[in-house]
């Protein structure tokens, strides 16, 4: 339950709405509890024979007006408390996304996608019920209980005490049931995350599933997970299902006691029929507060379980972030990169994937990296974008320790294209222009669960670069002609993950996206593996003929990609085993020469 206290900063943002709602709850409850007195007085007047048609009509009119006032005030209560809870939900979702976007790559490698989705859907929904309906119903329950209890005591303290005796017992039973609900709901949420993760994975990999005829297997796995989710929900529902019978059982006992003792009071002349009628109505009104008590208990237990999960996520600190060492005066980069005795391993217990790398990449030059699969090529460029930090040694850009450069400044001036590019379910134009959109304003300080995050999107804006036009970037990436053949050209929707494009078209669209932001450092990580050599040559020629200052890093298995580079390095088992120009490496007759000769032979065999 302590986890819910972390929501106080969110409550404070909308405290005026909550205060208005709580005040309105009081007036709504007062309007609701007044009409039984008028109802009882009317019954007494009928019993005494003093009632007239006009007096009864007047009483009925007052009751209707009070009911309307109570209903309208309750509508205003919802407009304040429930709307405020929706604002908190909105803020919480934004804070969740802002935090997740800051997390390091290692988090996403170790956390299923479906689990993150479960945080953003079920868990935040459960928390919203705590800050919305549970607050509203708790306030309504408390005010109604106090008002009704006051009127009942004014009628008969002894009868009130007798009929209220079963209610504390009901609260105790609800408390013990609520203690069982919390772990059960936590288990349901955890299983829902597993189910969502498996579903997301199956949908994303539907082509592979069909290609390997694994539909039946995936269905059986899904059925097993769904059955587990069903069983856990059933256990939760059975436990929660005890609430209503207990509540109505204890209320039934109270009603029986009221009728027995209240009837005796009427016979003795100690109470009128109208007063007993009021008592019955008030006891009925008492039913809702205790029903709401059980419901609110469930919501709070669920919300506490979900909030605990969210806190665990929010307290996950990104490994890569700005720190006290960050030099906020750095707002632009030229593109000179240097590795000084750099070694890197993904986890302490694993073997290093890069070993004692020392290399200087001059500003505006082109570096080609060649090496077999698993030699450390991608790890090398990941350190430049600071997706990971070097385990040993130092990486510098323009002479600055890369860890002192504001992350947003560094990454905003790097164009990164991977072998398997990710495209959004938008138009081709929007995908290409993605990296040129306006940055979030500087100093956008957000409060996450009561703590001010360090520089969340609060970077100083980097020096503004002139982005390439969409069409110009498409021409440079040799995708322009393909795009113009589509019915809607640049406004063509490409579907989820670019499913309507071929592998080569996706890669070239991703290259155009990187070029469109006019980066000072361009990284092509085997980004032309799905295009033919002629297309690759045109793209490389376009890059060479571009006069804009740019440091380019090409990773490839093809020597044809590397031969025009200013420098080529050959990586093997995480170490630089060869370094030089294309001509120099051929003269040495080492790894590069062997790879070059083998690829020439393959091309000859293909032509034959």
396-426 CB burial, b ≥16 within 10 A, e <16? bbbeeebbbbbbbbbbbbbbbbbbebebeee
DSSP-assigned beta bridge partners for residue 140: none
Mean pLDDT on 91-100: 87
pLDDT at 30 over 80: yes
Q: pTM of the full predicted structure?
A: 0.70
Question: Does 455 have pLDDT greater than 50?
Answer: no
pLDDT at res. 171: 67
- Residue 338 C-alpha from the chain's centroid: 37
Of the chain, the percentage scoring pLDDT greater than 70 comes to: 91
Residue 532: count other Cβ atoms within 10 Å of its Cβ: 9
- The pLDDT of 244-255, averaged and rounded, is 76
3-state secondary structure at position 335 = coil
* DSSP secondary structure letter of residue 97: H
Residues 6+ apart with CB under 8 A from 508: 477, 478, 479, 482, 531, 535, 539
> Mean pLDDT across the chain, nearest whole number?
80
Q: Which residues contact 581 (CB under 8 A, 6 or more apart)?
A: 565, 566, 567, 568
Q: Reduced to 3 states, what is the DSSP secondary structure of residue 455?
A: coil
Q: How far apart (Å, rounded) are the C-alpha atoms in residues 51 and 121?
A: 58
Angle CA 311–312–318, to nearest 5: 105
- Poorest-pLDDT segment among 271-280, 323-332, 477-486, 507-516: 271-280
The answer on pLDDT for 463 being more than 60 is no
As a whole number of Å, the end-to-end CA separation of the chain is 74
Give the relative orientation of helices 157-164 and 166-204 as an angle to the nearest 10 degrees.
Answer: 40
Distance CA 380, CA 353 (A): 9
Radius of gyration of the chain (CA): 35
Q: Is the pLDDT of residue 335 over 80?
A: yes
Query: Which pLDDT band, with edges at 50, 70 and 90, does 465 fall under?
Result: very low
Helix (H) or strand (E) holding 340: strand 337-344
Kindly tell me if the per-residue pLDDT of 138 is higher than 80: yes
Judge whether 572 and 378 are in contact, CB under 8 Å: no
From residue 15, how far is each of 26, 80, 81, 88, 296 by CA, in Å? 17, 10, 10, 11, 21
Q: How far apart are CA 449 and CA 7, in angstroms?
A: 6
Q: What is the pLDDT of residues 52-92, one digit of tens each?
A: 777 778 878 888 888 888 889 989 998 999 999 999 888 88
pLDDT band for position 442 (cuts 50, 70, 90): very low
Q: Which residue has the tokens 């709580």?
A: 22
Q: Which of 359, 357, 379, 375 is nearest to 367 (CA)?
A: 359
| Two structure tokens written together for 77 | 């209560």
Q: Does the structure show a pLDDT above 60 at 145? A: yes
Enter the DSSP assignment of 439: P
Contact 280, 257 (CB under 8 A): no
**365-384: buried (b, 16+ CB within 10 Å) or exposed (e) per residue?**
bbbbbbbeeebbbbbbbbbb
Bridge pairing between strands 521-525 and 414-417: parallel
Alpha helices in 205-272 (DSSP H): 206-211, 215-240, 243-268
Average pLDDT for 530-556: 82
Q: Mention every residue, 6+ apart, whose C-beta is less than 8 A from residue 595.
A: 370, 559
- Separation between Cα atoms, residue 418 and residue 537, nearest integer Å: 18
Residue with the bigger pLDDT between 530 and 148: it is: 148
- All domains of the chain, ordered by start, with CATH? 2-314 (1.20.1560.10), 337-607 (3.40.50.300)
Report the length, in residues, of the chain: 608
Backbone angles phi, psi at 127, to 5 degrees: -65, -40
C-alpha distance from residue 486 to each of 480, 493, 498, 532 (Å): 10, 10, 14, 21
381-428 pLDDT tens trace: 889 988 888 889 999 998 899 889 888 888 888 888 887 788 887 888
More confident residue, 562 or 603: 562
Whether residue 107 contacts residue 26, with contact meaning beta carbons closer than 8 Å, is answered with no
For residue 20, name the pLDDT band (cuts at 50, 70, 90). Answer: very high
Q: Given this model, what pLDDT does residue 51 score? A: 67
Q: Given this model, what pLDDT does residue 565 score?
A: 85
- Is the distance from CB of 398 to CB of 338 less than 8 angstroms? no
On whether the CB atoms of residues 568 and 537 are closer than 8 A, the answer is no
3 state SS of 521: strand
Task: Of 548, 565, 365, give the one whose Cα is nearest residue 472.
Answer: 548
């Amino acid at each position: 339950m302590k986890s819910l206290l972390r929501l106080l900063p969110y409550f404070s943002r909308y405290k005026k709405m909550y205060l208005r709602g709580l005040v309105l709850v009081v007036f709504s409850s007062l309007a609701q509890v007044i009409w039984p007195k008028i109802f009882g007085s009317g019954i007494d007047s009928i019993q005494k024979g003093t009632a007239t048609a006009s007096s009864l009509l007047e009483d009925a009119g007052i009751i209707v007006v009070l009911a309307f006032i109570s209903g309208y005030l309750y509508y205003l209560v919802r407009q304040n408390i429930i709307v405020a809870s929706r604002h908190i939900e909105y803020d919480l979702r934004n804070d969740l996304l802002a935090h997740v976007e800051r997390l390091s790559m290692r988090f996403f490698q170790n956390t299923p996608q479906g689990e993150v989705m479960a945080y953003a859907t079920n868990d935040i929904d459960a928390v919203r019920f705590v800050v919305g309906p549970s607050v509203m119903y708790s306030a309504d329950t408390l005010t109604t209980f106090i008002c009704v209890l006051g009127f009942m005591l004014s009628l008969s303290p002894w009868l009130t005490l007798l009929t209220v005796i079963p209610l504390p017992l009901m609260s105790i039973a609800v408390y013990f049931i609520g203690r069982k609900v919390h772990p059960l709901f936590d288990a349901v949420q955890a299983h829902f995350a597993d189910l969502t993760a498996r579903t997301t994975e199956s949908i994303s990999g539907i082509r592979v599933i069909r290609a390997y005829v694994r539909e039946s297997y995936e269905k059986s796995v899904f059925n097993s997970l769904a059955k587990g989710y069903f069983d856990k929900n059933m256990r939760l529902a059975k436990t929660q299902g005890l609430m209503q019978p207990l509540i109505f059982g204890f209320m039934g006992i109270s009603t029986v006691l009221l009728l027995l003792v209240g009837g005796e009071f009427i016979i003795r002349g100690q109470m009128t029929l109208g007063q007993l009628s009021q008592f019955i109505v008030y006891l009925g009104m008492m039913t809702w507060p205790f029903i709401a008590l059980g419901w609110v208990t469930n919501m709070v237990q669920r919300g506490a379980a979900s909030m605990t999960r969210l806190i665990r996520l929010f307290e996950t600190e990104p490994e890569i972030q700005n720190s006290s060492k960050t030099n906020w005066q750095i707002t632009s980069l030229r593109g000179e990169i240097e590795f000084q005795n750099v070694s890197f391993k993904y986890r302490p217990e694993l073997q290093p994937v890069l070993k004692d790398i020392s290399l200087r990449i001059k500003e505006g030059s082109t570096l080609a990296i060649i090496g077999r699969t698993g030699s450390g090529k991608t790890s090398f460029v990941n350190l430049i974008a600071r997706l990971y930090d070097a385990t040993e040694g130092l990486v510098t850009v323009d002479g600055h320790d890369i860890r002192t450069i504001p992350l947003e400044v560094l990454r905003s001036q790097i164009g990164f294209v991977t072998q398997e590019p990710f495209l959004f379910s938008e138009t081709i134009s929007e995908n290409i222009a993605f990296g040129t959109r306006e940055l979030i304003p500087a100093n956008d300080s957000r409060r996450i669960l009561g703590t001010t995050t360090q520089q969340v999107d609060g970077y100083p804006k980097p020096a503004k670069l002139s982005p390439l036009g969409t069409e110009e970037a498409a021409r440079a990436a040799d995708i322009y002609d393909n795009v113009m053949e589509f019915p809607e050209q640049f406004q063509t929707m490409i579907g989820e993950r670019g499913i309507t494009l071929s592998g080569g078209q996706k890669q070239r669209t991703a290259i155009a996206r990187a070029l469109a932001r006019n980066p000072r450092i361009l990284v092509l990580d085997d980004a032309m593996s799905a295009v033919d050599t002629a297309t690759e040559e045109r793209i490389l020629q376009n890059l060479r003929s571009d006069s804009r200052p740019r440091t380019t890093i090409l990773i490839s298995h093809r020597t044809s990609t590397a031969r025009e580079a200013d420098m080529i390095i050959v990586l093997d088992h995480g170490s630089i085993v060869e370094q030089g120009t294309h001509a120099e490496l051929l003269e040495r007759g080492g790894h590069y020469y062997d790879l070059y000769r083998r690829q020439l032979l393959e091309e000859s065999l293909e032509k034959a």
